[in-house]
Amino acid sequence: MCGIFGSFKHTNYEILYDFNKQRGTFSYGHLFAKRKDGAMHIKKAEGVVELDLMESLQEDTDYDIFLGHTQAPTSSERDFNPQTSHPFEYGNWIVAHNGVLSNFEQLKLEKVPWLECNVDSSVIPALLHEYNTTFTGIELISHVLGMLEGTLGVWIYDKIDKKVYLARSGSTLFANLNTGDFSSIKVHDFTELHENVIYELAISGIADWYIINQVGTFKGKSPFFIE
């Protein structure tokens, strides 16, 4: 079991991390990014991380996107290894995933046989990279998410456009649509995001208010979803 969460404010991010420890404390991973120039900091660590020790990172580099992941041990990986821990990166895509992909082996064999990682989540950025020349933008994300069978809650970061996308199918994902905060665990007045809808974390107005917009859909294949 995993938890994904994120915010545009480091203080909110810390709160969301505390909530999502309920989903597992085997490992922690984050992506901190800066919209202005694309600067990034990726960290993967075993166990619980003291986020107050990272305040200097925020102050020195002025990150304004904070995306995280917590994880319990999985059946495939019982020992911590950064190469098999979230977030996963390939090409221009960074992804953290909560759920289980039942067709991972088939996708890896037929679509991305060069992928070395045996964790199912790693196939998502690999597929985004593989189909990047065939599809673009939301169409690309919709196509790749539509290939996945099983359950998913994801955040996806596009390193080129410096955009963040969210989606879920069969996994929980809640958000404050007016601030851009999101979490696998329901927090306060967060609302549940719709199944099989792609959301973008966007900026509203000149005052840098962050909102979550629906920007597309995909054909989810969760065993729990009924149209």
Distances (CA, A) of 194 to 165, 197, 214, 227: 14, 6, 9, 12
Q: What is the mean pLDDT of residues 107-134?
A: 96
3 state SS of 165:
strand
Banded model confidence at residue 227, pLDDT cuts 50, 70, 90:
very low
Least confident of 36-50, 51-65, 136-150: 51-65
- Please give the angle made by the CA atoms of 185, 186 and 189, to the nearest 5 degrees: 155
pLDDT at position 68 over 70 = yes
pLDDT at 77: 57
pTM over the 0.85 mark = yes
Any idea where the domains of the chain sit in the sequence?
A: 2-217
pLDDT at position 18 over 90 = yes
Per-residue pLDDT of 200-223, as tens digits, reads: 998 765 556 678 999 999 998 877
pLDDT at 112: 97
pLDDT at 83: 82
Q: What are phi and psi of 5, to 5 degrees?
A: -165, 160
CATH top-level class of 2-217 = alpha beta
Token duo for residue 109? 């064999």
- Residue among 45, 42, 88, 84 at smallest CA distance from 65: 42
- Residue among 153, 158, 96 at smallest CA distance from 129: 158
- Please give the angle made by the CA atoms of 165, 170 and 172, to the nearest 5 degrees: 65
C-beta neighbour count of 188 within 10 angstroms? 10
pLDDT at position 44 over 90 = yes
Token duo for residue 135? 């599809």
What number of CA atoms fall less than 13 Å from residue 2's CA on the CB side? 27
- Residue among 197, 178, 198, 175 at smallest CA distance from 188: 175
Q: What is the mean pLDDT of residues 18-40?
A: 91
- Taking all residues of the chain, what is their mean pLDDT, rounded to a whole number? 89
pLDDT at 55: 57
